[in-house]
Structures are given as structure tokens and as C-alpha cells.
Amino acid sequence: MKRLALWVLVLVTLSGCAAIPTNTQPKPIGSKDNKASNTLAAPEPRQNIDPLTLVRDFIEATANPASDYAAARAFLTPEASKTWDSKNPTVIETGFSTVPTSQVPQTSQDKTQTIMLQGNYVGRLGNDNAFVPQLGKLDVPVKIERNSENQWRISTPPAGVHMPQNLFNATYRRVTLYFYNPEFTVLVPDPRYVVVPPATSIPTRVTELMIAGPGDAVRDTLVSSLGPETQKFSDTTESDDGALEVNLTNVGKDMTPEKRKQIVAQVVKSYSGVTSSRVRVLVDGQQILPDQRDYRPSDVSATAGEALLALNANLQGMLVSDGMVRSLADGNPIKGPAGSGAYAVASAAQSIDGSRLAVVSRAGGSVRLRVGELEQDLSEVDLSAATLSRPTWLLSSGPKEPGTEVWTVVNGTSVARVTRSDNGSWTAKAVNVTDLKDFGSISELRLSRDGTRAAMVISGKLYVASVVRNNQDVALRAPRQLQPLILGSTVQSIDWLSQDVLAVSSSLPSWPVTKVYTDGSRMDRYSQSNLTVPVGSVAAAAARQVQVIDSSGLWSASDITDVWRSSAIRVPSNALVFYPG
């Protein structure tokens, strides 16, 4: 049988950065049934090993998860091995320390000791195999004792697996599952981590995770096309003709042609970063759709809703400068009152389809939100406030449908979603932000262009939350702070580079603009050349240049390795730049 051509992650090391690998390149993976590799006897620890080295070697042995971490269990007493929980590893910084608790030198007569395991937490894997950022100092006592052969063994290990980040990078691989938004109009990424072979078959594990449904953070936000009774009909393997066969059973009762297409799109997209092979979706051993047997990602783009997320090439972006909305193409004011200065615009947002505009206008000592058709008079919303954040539009219902919902933060404490009624009026409704109430003042909020996540700047810190809709009630749930050790409270501006990656600007000279993954697993630094901190505004979108504004003007870059290029458009340092969304 041919071996699967799977994608493994490129390990990228950034100083001080939680660089869990995410990029992929082809590499063949062995079969799950390689039982010999899963049953190798774990080597015994070195003879006469000292306590500090014993604990360090135990932590480093977690790099081999085969046979339920047998290599690490060899460092434990038999009693400790029976009770040690090896599920869901905690990731710690690579530079951890083992420190004695006593200053008295060890003697050969000592029968017990306590060693402190010290360092910093990076994150952990949840029960859903999703990465969860974790804050705090690591300072855990590890008790050891001599066995009958006078060798040190660990009698009280740390609770659970504590895996250094470099070993986690080598042991686990990031895979991106896809599930639908509640309207089944667009597929949304849901990243997870799986152990690399030979301990686990990645294709089969991806299928198992997909069957289990959306991860904990998005369980109330996303939905699966697979029914709750879905199971594997067989392991996911490569067929003799080179296609990856995903064979399911009990996928659901309402198997309309549209539902079958949704299942195919979800499966194919979930394997798009795992295999370069064709994907064959089977139900009880039979192909799921009669008119096509095998699929590639390009075959499912329509059902995946990719057209909903793609920005029209003619929508080149906009600026807010000197109270006017201007075109990013040439810096000239747009037509209508928003471009004439009549509204004294403080910030603005263009709907994803490009047909509508929302602006925050200054009026005396307060601000007002205006919404309406681009280049026309904008209706004033009944939403008085001292401050309103830069607006952000919800995903439209169709590729050419205008936006009907826009969000803004009111006075830094509450969030309003302004919706359009059938008669054309705009009405503000409250978003439940109870889960955010203890974090501080919200200065910026950006909805992802698929409408399922919200990125926020709260007291200068970067947060991401899930958008949960229950009929007419909308809430922001499961908030989590991203990259707190590096970014701290220095974040200035944010935008969505893709469905699960943010572009972030800050006041840090060494991290002026970064790409931050929304599971908190990693951040990549853009070039520092030419920029002056703080970088006050950032605009990003898929297949678009990242645009930023600092004290010297407007700059653009296409990739993290690019040198920032100055724009011919002259803007003040307090100007804002934005793409539709």
C-alpha cells in the first residue's frame, strides 16, 4: 500500500515566542498499525543518576508518548506510575530548571528528597486536543526516593505530563478541522493538535476529532454537518489508487443532496492541511455523492462559503483622516457626506460586500454612530455615548448581499450590535459581555469575517472570544488572552488576516506588528525596519497587503519577511486604515 503524503509542520523558533508550529510541508507518515514501534520496552534511567538530573530526564522523556508514556514512567516508582495522569499535556517553556529544596549536601544515606521543577507555563491541551494558553510561574515539588536497588525514582511526580515547548513542537502536530457557522453558509477553522506517528495515525485521529464535533471554545458557536451518531466505518487510510478514504457511518437521517455536499466540504477542508492526496468520502463503504468520487479543496469552495469571505478586488480599502473617509487607492475623499467632512468622522467601517458604511462621528462632547449606503446620507442610530469603538461588520448572508449588522463598543464597557430592519431603520441591541466584565475597558473590537469570533483590545491586552447566538440573544463567550508574556498591555490595533490569524500592532519596539494565531499557540514578527512605535492602526485581510500607520505615515507589507514600504499618500499619525469587514 502506498504511504500517505501528509503535511508536517515547519518548526520556527522565535526568541521569547510561543512558537507552536503551524506551517506545513509534505512528508510521508507510517501506518498506525506499526505495532512494533508502539510496544518497544522503555529504557531504564541511567545508573546512579543524581536527583536533579533524574527529574530533568523524566521531563525530557515525555517527548516519547508511545505506550502511554512508558519512557517517562520508567522514572517513577511502581506506585506513582499507577496513579500518574498522562492525558492532555501541559506545555512549559523549554528553559525549565530543577532546583534542590535543601542547601544541605546530599549523602548516600538519604532515602528521600524533594526537587523543585521551575519555569513558566506556555499552555495546555484540552480534552478536545485544542491548545489553551496558560499563564503563570511553574513551581512544582517533585518527591523522589531510593528503590530497593538504591536508585532514585520519582514517588510524587507533577500532576500530569509537563512537556517542554521544544519537545511539544517535535511530538505534536497542528491540524485544522472545519465546522460550519450556525447558518451553514461558511466553514470555519478549528485548530487541534495530534501526536505524530508511529504512536498515532494522523488521518484516523483527524477523523475521530471531526466526528467528536467543534472544540470546547466554539462548541456553542459552530455546528457540524455530521449527525451526533456518526462513527467511523473503518480507519482513514489511503486506497490502492492513492486517494485518502474517509469512511463513515450513521452520519444522519436527513441525507439530502445539499447535506451530502456539506459533509463532503467539511471533510475535504479538514484534510486540506493533512494530505495532498484526493479525498474520497464514503458512507458505509459507498461514495456519498453519485456524480463525483474524489475531491480536492477547490472542488468544495462554493459549499465552504469561500465567496462570502473573499473581498472584491475593486474594494481597495479606506482611510479616516482629518474627519473624512478617504480611498486607500489614492487618498482622495470618497463621495458623499462621510468624505466631505460633514460628519467629523472619528472612525469607520465598510461592509464586506462594499455597499454600506458605518461611521463614528463627533458631535460636541459626545459621539454618534451613523450607518447607511456608501456615498449617501447615513442614518443616525439612537445610541448616544461618550466613546464608540471603530465599527465592525457581520458577515453578509450572500456574496452580493449588503451587510445588515454592525458592532461597536459603547463607553468601553458594553457592546452594541446595530441591525437593519425591513423598513431600513437601524436599531441597537445589547450583546451579552458578562464573561468580559472583569477584564477592563474595551478599546477595540473586530468581528472575524466569518462572524464566529471577536478579537478585542482590553486594557491594552489581546483577547479572543467566541460569538454565541441563541435566537435573538448574542453573547461573547470563552474569552482568552493571547500572547500575554510578550504583548502584555501594549496592543494598539488589531485586524483579521485570515479566519484564525490576527494582525496586531503594538508599542513594543521589538514587536511593532505581528501575526497572532487565535488559539494562542504562536506569533510571528513582521519586519521591524522603517516602523516607529507605537504603530497606531493596522488593516489586514486575506490576499491583501497589511497596512499600518505610525508617526511617520502609512506603510505596507505583503509578508513577515518584507521590508515595510512607504505610501505616497500622506496621513497624520492618528489616521485609521481599514479594509471591508
pLDDT at 19: 55
For residues 62 and 165, membership in a common domain is answered with yes
Confidence of residue 433 (pLDDT cuts 50, 70, 90): very high
Residue 487 domain-assigned (yes or no): yes
Amino acid 104: pLDDT: 54
- Between 231 and 30, where is the model more confident? 231
Give the Cα separation of 526 and 549 in Å (integer). Answer: 14
- Reported confidence tier of residue 399, pLDDT bands at 50, 70, 90: confident
Q: Which residue, among 180, 411, 441, 144, has the nearest Cα to 303 in the 3D structure?
A: 180
* pLDDT category of residue 80 using cuts at 50, 70 and 90: very high
Is residue 34 predicted with pLDDT exceeding 90? no
Where does a domain end: 148, 171, 194?
171
Asked if 403 and 304 sit in the same domain, the reply is: no
- At 35, the pLDDT band (50, 70, 90 cuts) reads very low
Look at residues 274, 308, 342 and tell me which one is the last residue of a structural domain.
308
Return the pLDDT at 196.
Answer: 87
- Say if residue 217 is in the same domain as residue 136: no
* 111 or 576, which is more confident: 576
Mean pLDDT value of segment 379-398: 94
Question: According to the model, what pLDDT value does residue 411 have?
Answer: 97
In which domain, by residue range, is 432 found?
A: 309-578
Q: Do 214 and 163 reside in the same domain of the chain? A: no
8 within a domain of the structure (yes/no):
no
Same domain, 152 and 177: no
Q: Residue 343 domain-assigned?
A: yes
Low-confidence winner among 72-86, 96-110, 305-319, 362-376 (lowest mean pLDDT)? 96-110
What average pLDDT does the segment 499-519 reach?
A: 98
Q: Give the C-alpha distances (Å, rounded to integers) separating 255 from 228, 303, 518.
A: 14, 16, 33
Vertex 501: Cα angle to 309 and 225 (nearest 5): 55
- Band of residue 20 on the pLDDT scale cut at 50, 70, 90: low
In terms of domains, do 263 and 318 share one?
no
17 inside domain: no
Cell numbers that stand for 507 in this block: 508599542
Q: Which residues of 457-479 are buried (b: 16+ CB within 10 A; e: fewer)?
A: bbebbbbbbbbbeeeeebbbbbb
CA 570, CA 559: separation in Å to the nearest integer?
A: 23
76 pLDDT higher than 50 = yes
CATH number reported for the structural domain that contains residue 124 in this entry: 3.10.450
Are 160 and 208 in a shared domain? no
Contact, 115 vs 98, CB < 8 A? yes
What is the pLDDT averaged over residues 225-242? 95
Question: Within a domain: residue 455?
Answer: yes
Number of Cβ atoms within 10 Å of the Cβ of 497: 20
User: Which pLDDT value is given to residue 41?
Assistant: 60
Are 419 and 525 found together in one domain? yes
| Percent of the chain surpassing pLDDT 90 | 85
Q: What is the CATH number of the domain that holds 425?
A: 2.130.10.10
Residue 563 vs residue 9, higher pLDDT = 563
Same domain, 340 and 252: no
Give the residue-averaged pLDDT of 244-250.
Answer: 97
Cα 336 versus chain centre, distance: 38
pLDDT digits (tens, 9 = 90+) for 452-490: 999 999 999 999 999 999 988 999 999 999 999 899 999
Q: How far apart are CA 315 and CA 557, in angstroms?
A: 18
Question: 100-109, 132-141, 441-450, 562-571: which has the minimum mean pLDDT?
Answer: 100-109
pLDDT at 197: 64
pLDDT computed for residue 28 by the predictor: 35
Q: Is residue 16 part of a domain?
A: no
Q: Is a pLDDT exceeding 80 seen at residue 17?
A: no
Pairing of strands 112-125, 90-92: antiparallel
pLDDT in tens, 254-306: 899 999 999 999 999 999 999 999 999 999 999 999 999 999 999 999 999 99
Asked if pLDDT for residue 554 goes beyond 80, the answer is yes
Chain segment 337-353, per-residue pLDDT in tens: 999 999 999 999 999 99
Instruction: Give mean pLDDT, residues 11-18.
Output: 36
Rg (CA), the chain: 27
Q: Phi-psi category of 284—alpha, beta or left, where left has phi over 0 and alpha has psi -120 to 50? A: left
pLDDT given for residue 276 in this prediction? 93
Is 180 found in the same domain as 154?
Answer: no
The domain boundary residue, chosen from 268, 293, 308:
308
Distance CA(544)–CA(532), nearest Å, equals 22
Going by C-alpha positions, the residue among 25, 70, 24 that lies closest to residue 199 is: 70
Mean pLDDT of the chain: 91
In the chain, the number of structural domains is 3
Give the residue with greater pLDDT, 200 vs 285.
285
Reported pTM? 0.90
470 & 545 share domain:
yes
pLDDT value at 49 more than 60: yes
pLDDT at 5 over 60: no
Rounded to an integer, the average pLDDT of 424-428 is 95
pLDDT of the residue at 381: 97
302 & 357 share domain: no
How large is the average pLDDT for residues 515-529? 96
Helix (H) or strand (E) holding 57: helix 51-60
Whether residue 11 lies inside any domain: the answer is: no
> Which helix H or strand E contains 154, and what residues bound it?
strand 152-156
The predicted structure's pLDDT at residue 362: 94
Instruction: Judge whether 338 lies within some domain.
Output: yes
